[in-house]
Structure 1
Amino acid sequence: MRNEGVKAELISFAHEAGFAKVGVCRPDAVSEIAARLAAFVDAGFHGQMGWMAERMAWRGDPTALWPEARSVIMLAEPYTPDHDPLEVLEQSVRAAISVYAQNRDYHDVVKKRLKHVGRWLIDQVPGAEIKVFVDTAPVMEKPLAQAAGLGWQGKHTNLLGRDLGNWFFLGAIFTTVDLPPDQAEISHCGSCTACLDICPTEAFPAPYQLDARRCISYLTIEHKGPVAEELRAKMGNRIYGCDDCLAVCPWNKFATAARDTRYAARDDLRAPPLAELATLDDARFRARFAGSPIKRIGRDRFVRNVAYAIGNAGDPALVEVLSPLVDDPDPAVADAARWAILRLKEDRS
């Protein structure tokens, strides 16, 4: 079977396995990302994500990650929500959790599916080798996906596609098999600025640029310690991630429905009461979020986020829930609780 035929069969098999779209590019198809990444880090936009600076050589050059690779297969797996993610923002005493984290950890689900597709390729091409990646290695998935024709990086820096919307995960299979590449996609954002305009913290210094230090997703997930006071009120009731810029994208009218039921929102994570989450100790936190991506930030950072959200809830009755947290062993949690209590008391006066 010639590699053109292998590619066609690969795409068909990947679709059957659950992926919505597949594309191929060369490992050296994104030579411009090294300079873009360096500029991002030099500006300090990466915040506390030191691993971005430490592994720039690999992240900025996919050919350095695995020199033997001849092709990069990029795959998209949709997790499109069945509800409006912005509705919960109107329920101030309930928690807003990013859509992708309302059920199973996508790393586990996507990686298993990638390995399934990769094994098929190995069976078809004698001597073929593969490496699979899902957001846990120094791989610039979004530029590679654009080079492979899956979509383009929008003004919010996330990938979106004309036939996908922007609710999807990306997976990558690096392989020694030389597959015909696809044509790279170009931007179709036009004059639209919906994603930039809705950002609560003004995290976009310019279109196609993100300052992670102001991004609520970064602040609630990656940032350790207290969040800057100027940003706490702007976080609202978002306790894990933020979907605002994704939710308003007009291209979502073409979004592909999620195929895997493991991405459907759990009832207890769709809009859980903040008061309930604030009482979680480490054991109950781990039990509640077993198998969830939320588990990786740990109880302390999670409850810190919940305390900020309670401070923004405007319900003075929640002071009682915060009181035990003032003496929490974690300094950031205690600081967040004190800030939230003062804010709620100011609302009452």
Structure 2
Amino acid sequence: MSDDLKKRLIEEARNLGFVACKLCRPWDVPEVRARLNAFVESGYHGQMSWMADRMNWRGDPSALWPEAQSVIMLADSYAPEHDPLDVLNHSESGAISVYAQNRDYHDVVKKRLKRLARWLIEQRPCEVKVFVDTAPVPEKALGQAAGLGWQGKHTNLVSREWGNWAFLGSIFTTLTLPTDPAETDNCGSCRACLDVCPTNAFPAPYQLDARRCISYLTIEHSGPVDTDLRPLLGNHIYGCDDCLAVCPWNKFALKASDMRYAARDDLIAPKLADLAKLDDAGFRSLFSGSPVKRIGRNRFVRNVLYAVGNSADAGLTETARSLVENPDPAVSDAARWAIDRLGRAGSAK
């Protein structure tokens, strides 16, 4: 009976647009606690204090909800139709991570998960909890335990069937359902993701120092970014896709099933000069419904000014100068840095 339910569950997940649906037990990731401890003890989490605060749950999914007997892991493709690395060749534009070029994936994925969870309850009375990247759940480790893919050298989940462009979601349930075999590592000798990182954020394969990761620096890090790292940010202004984009397994990437993941034309390569002019109202309007909105105007403009400084475009000097007196210290500091860097670039010609 449970085998039949699992088969129908997978079919329903596919009907809802998920590219994969596999199962494991909450306790199938015993290695997570030691890895998390090593990550935090090394200080790799930077300002993300919430990782240290919730280590008990994040290190042991079965502690999050002891009654849960099965974890349904799902993958939702957001593979881009354009080359996400192309914008890096246009220093007058800002690079926004693919996942943030349209609607907030949390909302889209969670609605699908809830529909699937309701379907499951209708088939068999049970309790369920759904999670999408907002709770202390080690989604990538559970994804590997369930057989969705493996954690690659860039620490993200990679699949032989859909590459690494996918959002992960999970449904914890009190039902005991048949599990799937864990996936094995298929990175081989490839180092593409490690070698492409502009900031050398990987101390070793399968290890990430978030303090050097562009995604962390442009999204999670508050205040000024270390001056040694600013030149390495290039024109990344929200997140970074470099290590994901070069993964050779993306030749199997599946088209995103939801148009809300399709990049908005105005966010593929927005002009830095236009972005720097955004006040709070303009920022909120431009990024309404986007995950970019969560970091706020000041942090975003700080990032834009670092990109301005890295552009070597003297024409953007006045753009930076207009923000020198900005009341936010990180913004005014970034503006002064950008002016100085543009001046140095001009004198070097």
- Return the TM-score normalized by structure 1: 0.99
Which residue number corresponds to residue 83 of structure 1?
Answer: 82
* Cα distance between partner residues in 1 of 2:25 and 2:53: 24
Q: Secondary structure at the match of 2:10?
A: helix
Asked whether 1:163 is paired with 2:161, we answer yes
Which residue number corresponds to residue 153 of structure 1?
Answer: 151
Which residue number corresponds to residue 301 of structure 1?
Answer: 299
Shift of 1:135: 0.2
Q: After superposition, what is the alpha-carbon deviation per residue over 1:198-255, rounded to whole angstroms, capped at 9, x for unaligned?
A: 0000000000000000000000000000000011000000000000000000000011
4+ residue segments displaced more than 6 Å: none
Shift of 1:348: 1.2
* Cα distance between partner residues in 2 of 1:14 and 1:191: 34
* Cα distance between partner residues in 2 of 1:83 and 1:266: 11
Amino acid at match of 2:76: E
Q: Secondary structure at the match of 2:323?
A: helix
Q: Percent identity?
A: 69
Asked whether 1:219 is paired with 2:217, we answer yes
* Cα distance between partner residues in 2 of 1:236 and 1:131: 40
Asked whether 1:210 is paired with 2:208, we answer yes
* Cα distance between partner residues in 1 of 2:98 and 2:324: 30
Amino acid at match of 1:286: R
Which residue number corresponds to residue 7 of structure 2?
Answer: 8
Map 1:191-340 to 2 at 5 A. 191-340=189-338
Amino acid at match of 2:262: A
Which residue number corresponds to residue 72 of structure 1?
Answer: 71
Q: After superposition, what is the alpha-carbon deviation per residue over 1:74-123, rounded to whole angstroms, capped at 9, x for unaligned?
A: 00000000011111000000010000000000000000000000000000
* Cα distance between partner residues in 2 of 1:147 and 1:327: 52
Amino acid at match of 1:248: V
Q: After superposition, what is the alpha-carbon deviation per residue over 1:30-68, rounded to whole angstroms, capped at 9, x for unaligned?
A: 011001000000000000000000000000001100000
How large is the RMSD of aligned CA atoms in angstroms?
0.5
Asked whether 1:123 is paired with 2:137, we answer no
Shift of 1:312: 0.3
* Cα distance between partner residues in 2 of 1:347 and 1:144: 47
Q: Secondary structure at the match of 1:196?
A: helix
Which residue number corresponds to residue 178 of structure 2?
Answer: 180
Amino acid at match of 2:163: G
* Cα distance between partner residues in 2 of 1:290 and 1:279: 17
Runs (5+) with no aligned partner, structure 2: none
Which residue number corresponds to residue 134 of structure 1?
Answer: 132
| Total equivalences in the alignment | 347
Amino acid at match of 2:220: E
Q: Secondary structure at the match of 2:270?
A: coil
* Cα distance between partner residues in 1 of 2:78 and 2:188: 25
Amino acid at match of 2:303: N
Amino acid at match of 2:136: P
* Cα distance between partner residues in 2 of 1:31 and 1:190: 24
Amino acid at match of 2:187: C
Shift of 1:3: 1.1
Runs (5+) with no aligned partner, structure 1: none
Which residue number corresponds to residue 99 of structure 1?
Answer: 98
